[in-house]
C-alpha cells in the first residue's frame, strides 16, 4: 500500500491569507499549443514530467502519488485508456532515445507518470476563467487532499516577476505529515528543495499557483482544497471523485447523517399529487427515476444550447421544466397519475438552469439590439431581455448565498455570482431604453436624478477600497460586512424585484430572490417564497398609448426610481462579490482589480 501524505497548518491562519508563496509547475501543457510534445495534454504533461524525473520504488514520481494500482487494477475503461496512453508515451520516449521498440521498464515508467498526472494535475484558468491548459505542481501543492468543505482554495498568477510588495505576506504556512498516522512531520529536506517556489524577478515558463485560506485554520489542522464542484449534491460529488481519483470521500460534509442542510437542498424535489402522498419520494426507485428525468430535461436543454446555440429555445425548455416540473405518469408506478414533481429552487439543477438562463437572456438581448437597433419595439424587447437576465443573475446569487450561510466553502462560487449579478444590473441601468421613459413622461431630462454613488446606509464601497489597499480581510470584519450588505440588499431588492420580473411567469413566482429562510419548511409549495411584496415600482410597458399621459408620467417617475435602485443594487452586489473575491484570491487578483475598474468607471458617470 502506498503511503499517503497530507498538509497541515504550521501556525494559526485567519481567512484571506496566502498560505504558500507562488509555486512554479513541474510540468505545464497549454491546450492547442505548438510547443506541446503530444496532442493529448495528459500525455504531454507526463512526458515533460518524465524528462526530468524518474519514478521511485514507492510508486511516486517527483514525490507525487501515482495511485498506479488503484487506477489500473480494474479491467475497466480508465485502466484501458491508461494502458493505451502509456504505450503511446513509451513509443514517444523510445523514439526520442533512438530505440525502435519501448522496453517494459519504459512502459512501466510511462504508466506511473500518467497515473501521477491523472492524480495530481489541475486545469489552469486564465484571468477570464477560461481553461488554458493542464499543469502538475510539486509536493507543496500536490500533497493537499480534498474535502467537500475545504478550508483553502488556489489561484493562478501569470506574472513572472513577483514584486516584494505584492507578495510580502507570502510565506509557507503548511508542512507535510504522513496521513492517518502519528508519525512526526516529514523532514524538510525530503519534500522540498525550494525549487517549487517562484523567486523574485525569476523568468520561468508556466503559471504560478498560490494556495489561500477561505476559513480560519488552526495550527496543526489539515489544509484541504476542492477537487470537484461543491455546488453538486453528495451523490454526484462522490461519483466524480471515484471515477477520477478512485477514493470515497469521508469528509465531515459527506459523513453527515442525516445529510447536511446544503446537501439536502441541492437534491430536493417536491411532489404534489391528488392520489399520491408526498412520501412517495422516500422510495429510492421513484426518487432516482424522477431525478434522472429532470436531470435529462435540464441537461438536454443546456447541451443543445451550448452546441447549437439557440438561446430562445433553451430559455423556453428550461423555464418549462422550472414551471411545470415533471407531471406525466411515471413508468413502473402504476395507477399513480396526476403526480407533479417540482425542482426545489435550491436544487442543483435549478441553479444550473438559472446560470444558463442568465446567460441566454443576455445573449438574446444583445442579438436583438444588434439586429434591429433602430426599431423601437426591438429596443423594448432587448431591455426586457436584459431585465430578465439580471433577475436570473440575482436569483442565482441570492440562492447560492443562502447555501453559503450554511457551507462557507461555497465562497468562490458565491463571489462569482454576486459579481455577475452586479455587472448585469449595472449594465441594465445603462440601457438607452430608460430615456424613453423620460421622453414619454416628461420628467427631468437628467434621468437617474435620484442616484447617489455611495449608499447612505452602509460603508461597503469604502470597505472595499480599504481592502484593495490593505489586502487582508479579518474574520470579524467579514461578518460585519456581510450583515451590512444583506440588510441593504434585501431592502433594495424588495423595491425593484417586481419591476425586474414583471411579465415573467417563473420569476414572478419567486417572491424574494434573497431570502430563502422559510423555504425549506414550506414543503410541497409550488412557489418559491412566502412573502408577498406590494411594489410601487411595478410598471407596465404599454406607454405608447396617447390616452395615458398621466400614467406615463407616473411610470417615468417610478422608472427613474427603479433605475436608481437597480444601480444601487448593482453596486452592492458587485462590491460584495469583490470582497469575497479578495478573500479567495487576494487584493491584487484579476477579479478584485476588475471590480475596482468597474467601480471607478461607474463613479465617474454619476
Ligand X SMILES: C[S@@+](CC[C@H](N)C(=O)[O-])C[C@H]1O[C@@H](n2cnc3c(N)ncnc32)[C@H](O)[C@@H]1O
Which residues would be at the binding site for ligand X (CB under 6 A)? 4-6, 65, 67, 119-120, 142-143, 145-147, 179, 245, 247, 249, 251
Distance CA 487, CA 520 (A): 21
Please, which residue, 85 or 384, has the CB nearer to ligand X? Answer: 85
Minimum distance, C-beta of residue 152 to ligand X, in the bound complex (Å): 13
Please, which residue, 242 or 605, has the CB nearer to ligand X? Answer: 242
Residue 333 phi/psi, 5-degree rounding, is -130, 70
Closest CA to 319 of 291, 289, 290, 358: 358
Please check whether residue 37 is in contact with residue 92, taking contact to mean a CB–CB distance below 8 angstroms: yes
Q: Is 293 helix (H, G, I), strand (E, B) or coil?
A: helix
Environment class of residue 345 by beta-carbon count within 10 Å: exposed (0-12), middle (13-18) or buried (19+)?
Answer: buried
**Taking CA 524 as the corner, what is the angle to CA 522 and CA 526, rounded to the nearest 5 degrees?**
95
Dihedral in degrees, nearest 10, Cα atoms 492, 497, 499, 505: 180
Distance CA 597, CA 59 (A): 49
Please check whether residue 137 is in contact with residue 120, taking contact to mean a CB–CB distance below 8 angstroms: yes
Minimum distance, C-beta of residue 69 to ligand X, in the bound complex (Å): 11
Query: Cell numbers at residue 519, please?
Result: 423555504
Helices (H), 246-310: 252-255, 261-266, 284-308
Distance CA 151, CA 224 (A): 6
Please, which residue, 223 or 419, has the CB nearer to ligand X? Answer: 223
Please, which residue, 188 or 462, has the CB nearer to ligand X? Answer: 188
Query: Cell numbers at residue 461, please?
Result: 464601497
Closest CA to 48 of 87, 12, 89, 16: 89
Minimum distance, C-beta of residue 51 to ligand X, in the bound complex (Å): 21
Please, which residue, 181 or 373, has the CB nearer to ligand X? Answer: 181
Minimum distance, C-beta of residue 92 to ligand X, in the bound complex (Å): 25
Minimum distance, C-beta of residue 578 to ligand X, in the bound complex (Å): 31
Query: Cell numbers at residue 544, please?
Result: 405608447
Minimum distance, C-beta of residue 243 to ligand X, in the bound complex (Å): 12
Distance CA 601, CA 606 (A): 9
Minimum distance, C-beta of residue 186 to ligand X, in the bound complex (Å): 11
Please, which residue, 143 or 497, has the CB nearer to ligand X? Answer: 143
- β-bridge mates for residue 209, sequence order: 23, 156
Minimum distance, C-beta of residue 107 to ligand X, in the bound complex (Å): 22
Please, which residue, 263 or 512, has the CB nearer to ligand X? Answer: 263
Percent helix, percent strand, percent coil in the chain, to nearest 5: 50, 10, 40
Please, which residue, 181 or 435, has the CB nearer to ligand X? Answer: 181
Minimum distance, C-beta of residue 417 to ligand X, in the bound complex (Å): 26
The DSSP call for residue 128 is T
Distance CA 25, CA 182 (A): 30
Please, which residue, 120 or 170, has the CB nearer to ligand X? Answer: 120
Please, which residue, 81 or 511, has the CB nearer to ligand X? Answer: 81
Please, which residue, 140 or 350, has the CB nearer to ligand X? Answer: 140
Minimum distance, C-beta of residue 89 to ligand X, in the bound complex (Å): 20
Please check whether residue 188 is in contact with residue 446, taking contact to mean a CB–CB distance below 8 angstroms: no
Please, which residue, 237 or 387, has the CB nearer to ligand X? Answer: 237
Minimum distance, C-beta of residue 74 to ligand X, in the bound complex (Å): 15
Closest CA to 564 of 509, 513, 602, 514: 602
Residue 573 phi/psi, 5-degree rounding, is -65, -45
Please, which residue, 186 or 450, has the CB nearer to ligand X? Answer: 186
Query: How distant, in Å, are the alpha carbons of 85, 101, 485 from that of 460?
Result: 52, 66, 7
Q: Is 281 helix (H, G, I), strand (E, B) or coil?
A: helix
For every residue of 344-409, DSSP letters joined together read -TTSHHHHHHHHHHHHHHHHHHHHHHHH-TT-HHHHHHHHHHHHHHHHHHHHHHHHHHHHHHH-GG
Query: Cell numbers at residue 178, please?
Result: 504522513
Please, which residue, 179 or 553, has the CB nearer to ligand X? Answer: 179
Minimum distance, C-beta of residue 393 to ligand X, in the bound complex (Å): 33
Amino acid at each position: 500500500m502506498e503511503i499517503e501524505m497530507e498538509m497541515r497548518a504550521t501556525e494559526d491562519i485567519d481567512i484571506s491569507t496566502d498560505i504558500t508563496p507562488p509555486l512554479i509547475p513541474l510540468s505545464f501543457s497549454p491546450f492547442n499549443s505548438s510547443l506541446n510534445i503530444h496532442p493529448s495534454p495528459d500525455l504531454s504533461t507526463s512526458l515533460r514530467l518524465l524528462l526530468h524525473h524518474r519514478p521511485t520504488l514507492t510508486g511516486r514520481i517527483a514525490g507525487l502519488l501515482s495511485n498506479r494500482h488503484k487506477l489500473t487494477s480494474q479491467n475497466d475503461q480508465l485502466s484501458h485508456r491508461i494502458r493505451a496512453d502509456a504505450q503511446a508515451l513509451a513509443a514517444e520516449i523510445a523514439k526520442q532515445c533512438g530505440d525502435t521498440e519501448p522496453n517494459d521498464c519504459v512502459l512501466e515508467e510511462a504508466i506511473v507518470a500518467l497515473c501521477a498526472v491523472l492524480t495530481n494535475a489541475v486545469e489552469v484558468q486564465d484571468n477570464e476563467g477560461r481553461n488554458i491548459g493542464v499543469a502538475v505542481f510539486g509536493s507543496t501543492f500536490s500533497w493537499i487532499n480534498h474535502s467537500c468543505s475545504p478550508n483553502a482554495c488556489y489561484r493562478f498568477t501569470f506574472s513572472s516577476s513577483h514584486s516584494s510588495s505584492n507578495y510580502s505576506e507570502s510565506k509557507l504556512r503548511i508542512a507535510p505529515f504522513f496521513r492517518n498516522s502519528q508519525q512526526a512531520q516529514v523532514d524538510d529536506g525530503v519534500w522540498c528543495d525550494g525549487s517549487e517556489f517562484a523567486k523574485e524577478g525569476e523568468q520561468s515558463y508556466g503559471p504560478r499557483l498560490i494556495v489561500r485560506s477561505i476559513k480560519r485554520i488552526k495550527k496543526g489542522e489539515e489544509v484541504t482544497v476542492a477537487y470537484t464542484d461543491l455546488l453538486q449534491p453528495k451523490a454526484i460529488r462522490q461519483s466524480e471523485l471515484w471515477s477520477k481519483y478512485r477514493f470515497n470521500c469521508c469528509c465531515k460534509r459527506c459523513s453527515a447523517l442525516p445529510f447536511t442542510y446544503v446537501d439536502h437542498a441541492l437534491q430536493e424535489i417536491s411532489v404534489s399529487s391528488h392520489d399520491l402522498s408526498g412520501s412517495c419520494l422516500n422510495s429510492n426507485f421513484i426518487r432516482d427515476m424522477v431525478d434522472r428525468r429532470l436531470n435529462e430535461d435540464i441537461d438536454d436543454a443546456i447541451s443543445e444550447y451550448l452546441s447549437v446555440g439557440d438561446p430562445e429555445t433553451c430559455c423556453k425548455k428550461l423555464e418549462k421544466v422550472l414551471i411545470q416540473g415533471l407531471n406525466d405518469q411515471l413508468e413502473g408506478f402504476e395507477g399513480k397519475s396526476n403526480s407533479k414533481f417540482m425542482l426545489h429552487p435550491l436544487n442543483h439543477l435549478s441553479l444550473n438552469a438559472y446560470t444558463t438562463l442568465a446567460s441566454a437572456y443576455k445573449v438574446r438581448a444583445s442579438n436583438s439590439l444588434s439586429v434591429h437597433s433602430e426599431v423601437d419595439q426591438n429596443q423594448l424587447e432587448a431591455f426586457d431581455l436584459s431585465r430578465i437576465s439580471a433577475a436570473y443573475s440575482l436569483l442565482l446569487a441570492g440562492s447560492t448565498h443562502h447555501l453559503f450561510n450554511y457551507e462557507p466553502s461555497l465562497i468562490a462560487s458565491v463571489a462569482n455570482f454576486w459579481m455577475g449579478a452586479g455587472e448585469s444590473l449595472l449594465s441594465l441601468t445603462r440601457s438607452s431604453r430608460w430615456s424613453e421613459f423620460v421622453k414619454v413622461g416628461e420628467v427631468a431630462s437628467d434621468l437617474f436624478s435620484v442616484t447617489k454613488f455611495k449608499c447612505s446606509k452602509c460603508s461597503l464601497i469604502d470597505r472595499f477600497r480599504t481592502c484593495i489597499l490593505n489586502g487582508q480581510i479579518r474574520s470579524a470584519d467579514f461578518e460585519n460586512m456581510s450583515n451590512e450588505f444583506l440588510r441593504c440588499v434585501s431592502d433594495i431588492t424588495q423595491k425593484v424585484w417586481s419591476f425586474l420580473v414583471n411579465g415573467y411567469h417563473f420569476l414572478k413566482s419567486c417572491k424574494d430572490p434573497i431570502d430563502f429562510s422559510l423555504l425549506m419548511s414550506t414543503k410541497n409549495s409550488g412557489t418559491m417564497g412566502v412573502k408577498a411584496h406590494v411594489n410601487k415600482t411595478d410598471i407596465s410597458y404599454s406607454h405608447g398609448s396617447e390616452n395615458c399621459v398621466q400614467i406615463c408620467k407616473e411610470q417615468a417617475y417610478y422608472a427613474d426610481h427603479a433605475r436608481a435602485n437597480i444601480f444601487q443594487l448593482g453596486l452592492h452586489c458587485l462590491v460584495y462579490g469583490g470582497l469575497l473575491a479578495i478573500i479567495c484570491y487576494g487584493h491584487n487578483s484579476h477579479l478584485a482589480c476588475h471590480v475596482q475598474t468597474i467601480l471607478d468607471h461607474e463613479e465617474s458617470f454619476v
